[in-house]
């Protein structure tokens, strides 16, 4: 059924976003697949508005598949030996596929950031590691995985009737192999999910990172609670090709590496029941990825971890405004007044700042709000803090600021252009203030780039 996107937005009371949807060619074929990050890139910066839109999109998706299923004849059983087609959003609903839920680009980006964080921990740079782990905690990853793992969804599992042998099948006594065998099988599979192909990470690596970076990785055993996006989506597990509940054994040829999304999304179903192709028909990828296993081989004892962990003051996370500025002054005398003066002097360029645990500097251009700076009470500056998917436009700002700071560089990540010093160490507030004369020209370049992107 065709959807008039403009009318749909108007019914939701969100017609102010119609120009952005129109300029980005968001029609009825694209609308059902929009994610939270997509909405941010469209300039929907208010959380309440994004939730309204995501709920309305979910309602659309709930209606469409039902009609498709109703008009589709009951499918015949799909043989496990069927040839593997190229999987795409346009393929037949009942066609065999490699995985339940195609991974999104953030899977690869999250794995890369966790890899860099592991390396930072091993060289003792916990500030950089904490920053990378925080960036890898993308809500879109949690939501993408949670929709598969949380409950059965006919749009995803696509369960179809098959002939199951009568009678109760015997189960092997032990559900999972030993830790040593498990690790060997992960290595055999190149530390990649044999279904969707994404890189996976050892659950043990998360525990080591949590010990080295207290409070950096949100984690809970309760199904309804939020967990760290990257670790939740790409943690490694072993999956029985023939499920344990159906008599599957712990023999090596019945076990494959799977990300949590694919493992728990399939639940107890046979491959044929959910239309999955046999992952063993595709050879594993061996490209040097180790699942962050280097953390287990190089940092194995709690005493080794404790040497890396810096004491954190209990007051650090609950500083009042006066205490925050006092901390900044203790690290960089005379910086507080200068910082406030510089930031307030950019108010005519729609720059504002607010202070909680971190002083966030925000530039608002039209409907887009970018957190261009994040300043910690110890005076270290993150450039940027969060830029809502505006990576290409932010590049000119980053390069202008870096050119004005002695020894600063600009480097690229999958989602950002980042300003730092050598070895990815952060700029400090005094270095930023020394480059204050460049802030206004950099902001004007950023405004021009954003306007050009919107018009282009």
Q: Is the pLDDT of residue 71 over 80?
A: no
**Section 326-339 average pLDDT:** 89
Structure tokens at 266: 């399939």
SS3 213: coil
Separation in Å, CA 304 to CA 293, 300, 312: 16, 7, 18
> pLDDT value at position 153?
77
**Section 367-390 average pLDDT:** 86
Residues 6+ apart with CB under 8 A from 293: 183, 191, 202, 205
Percent of the chain whose predicted confidence (pLDDT) is above 70 = 84
Residue 73: band (very low, low, confident or very high) from pLDDT cuts 50, 70, 90: very low
**Section 236-264 average pLDDT:** 89
Most confident of 210-224, 251-265, 309-323: 251-265
> pLDDT value at position 148?
82
> pLDDT value at position 171?
56
> pLDDT value at position 130?
92
> pLDDT value at position 188?
94
> pLDDT value at position 77?
39
- CATH number attached to the domain at 5-70: 1.10.150.50
Output the average pLDDT for the chain.
Answer: 80
Residue 319: band (very low, low, confident or very high) from pLDDT cuts 50, 70, 90: low
Compute the distance between CA of residue 185 and CA of residue 196 in angstroms, rounded to an integer: 17
3-state class percentages of the chain: helix first, strand second, coil last, to nearest 5 = 50, 10, 40
> pLDDT value at position 386?
82
Most confident of 77-91, 140-154, 262-276: 262-276
> pLDDT value at position 180?
83
**Section 247-251 average pLDDT:** 84
Strands 236-240 and 255-259 come out as: antiparallel
**Section 145-164 average pLDDT:** 79
pLDDT single digits (tens) 127-138: 899 999 999 999
The larger pLDDT score, comparing residue 301 to residue 6, is at 6
Structure tokens at 5: 């996107």
pLDDT single digits (tens) 404-419: 998 899 988 877 889 9
Compute the distance between CA of residue 162 and CA of residue 106 in angstroms, rounded to an integer: 35
Q: Is the pLDDT of residue 298 over 80?
A: no
Least confident of 96-105, 251-260, 364-373, 404-413: 364-373
Nearest Cα residue to 384 out of 418, 355, 344, 358: 418
Q: Tell me, what DSSP letter sits at residue 401?
A: H
Q: Is the pLDDT of residue 338 over 70?
A: yes
> pLDDT value at position 65?
44
Nearest Cα residue to 430 out of 333, 323, 351: 333
SS3 359: strand
Percent of the chain whose predicted confidence (pLDDT) is above 90 = 29
Q: Is the pLDDT of residue 76 over 90?
A: no
The larger pLDDT score, comparing residue 427 to residue 66, is at 427
Is the CB of residue 290 less than 8 Å from the CB of residue 97? no
Compute the distance between CA of residue 196 and CA of residue 215 in angstroms, rounded to an integer: 30
Q: Is the pLDDT of residue 79 over 60?
A: no
Is the CB of residue 432 less than 8 Å from the CB of residue 405? yes
> pLDDT value at position 85?
34
pLDDT single digits (tens) 95-128: 889 998 888 888 999 999 999 999 889 888 898 9
**Section 358-373 average pLDDT:** 86
């Amino acid at each position: 059924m065709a959807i008039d996107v403009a009318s749909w937005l108007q019914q939701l009371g969100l017609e102010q976003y119609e120009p952005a949807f129109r300029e980005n060619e968001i029609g009825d074929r694209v609308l059902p697949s929009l994610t939270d990050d997509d909405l941010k890139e469209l300039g929907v910066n208010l959380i309440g508005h994004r939730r309204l839109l995501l709920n309305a999109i979910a309602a659309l998706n709930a209606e469409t598949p039902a009609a498709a299923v109703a008009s589709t004849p009951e499918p015949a059983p799909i043989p496990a030996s069927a040839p593997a087609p190229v999987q795409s959003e346009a393929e037949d609903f009942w066609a065999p596929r490699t995985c339940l839920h195609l991974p999104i680009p953030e899977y690869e980006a999250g794995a890369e950031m966790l890899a860099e964080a592991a390396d930072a921990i091993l060289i003792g740079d916990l500030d950089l590691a904490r920053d990378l782990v925080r960036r890898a905690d993308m809500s879109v990853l949690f939501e993408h995985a949670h929709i598969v793992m949380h409950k059965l969804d006919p749009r995803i599992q696509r369960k179809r009737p098959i002939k199951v042998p009568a009678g109760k099948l015997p189960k092997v006594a032990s559900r999972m192999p030993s830790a040593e065998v498990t690790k060997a099988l992960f290595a055999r599979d190149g530390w990649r999910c044999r279904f969707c192909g994404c890189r996976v990470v050892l659950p043990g690596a998360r525990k080591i990172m949590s010990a080295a970076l207290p409070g950096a990785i949100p984690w809970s055993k309760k199904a309804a609670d939020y967990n760290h996006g990257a670790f939740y989506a790409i943690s490694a597990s072993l999956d029985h090709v023939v499920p344990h509940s159906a008599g599957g054994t712990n023999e090596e040829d019945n076990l494959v590496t799977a990300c949590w999304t694919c493992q728990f999304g399939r639940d107890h179903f046979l491959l044929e029941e959910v239309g999955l192709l046999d992952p063993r028909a595709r050879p594993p990828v061996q490209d040097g990825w180790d699942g962050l296993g280097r953390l287990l081989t190089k940092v194995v004892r709690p005493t080794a971890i404790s040497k890396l962990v810096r004491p954190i003051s209990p007051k650090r996370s609950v500083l009042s405004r006066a205490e925050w500025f006092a901390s900044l002054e203790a690290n960089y005398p005379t910086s507080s007044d200068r910082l406030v003066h510089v930031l307030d002097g950019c108010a005519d360029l729609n720059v504002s700042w607010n202070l909680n645990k971190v002083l966030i500097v925000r530039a608002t251009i039209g409907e887009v709000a970018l957190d261009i700076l994040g300043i910690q009470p110890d005076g270290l500056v993150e450039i940027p803090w969060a830029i809502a998917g505006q990576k290409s436009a932010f590049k000119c700002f980053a390069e202008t600021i870096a050119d004005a700071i002695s020894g600063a560089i600009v480097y690229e990540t999958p989602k950002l252009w980042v300003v730092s010093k050598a070895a990815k160490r952060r700029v400090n507030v005094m270095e930023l203030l020394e480059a204050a004369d460049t802030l206004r020209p950099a902001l004007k370049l950023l405004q021009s780039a954003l306007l050009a992107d919107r018009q282009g």
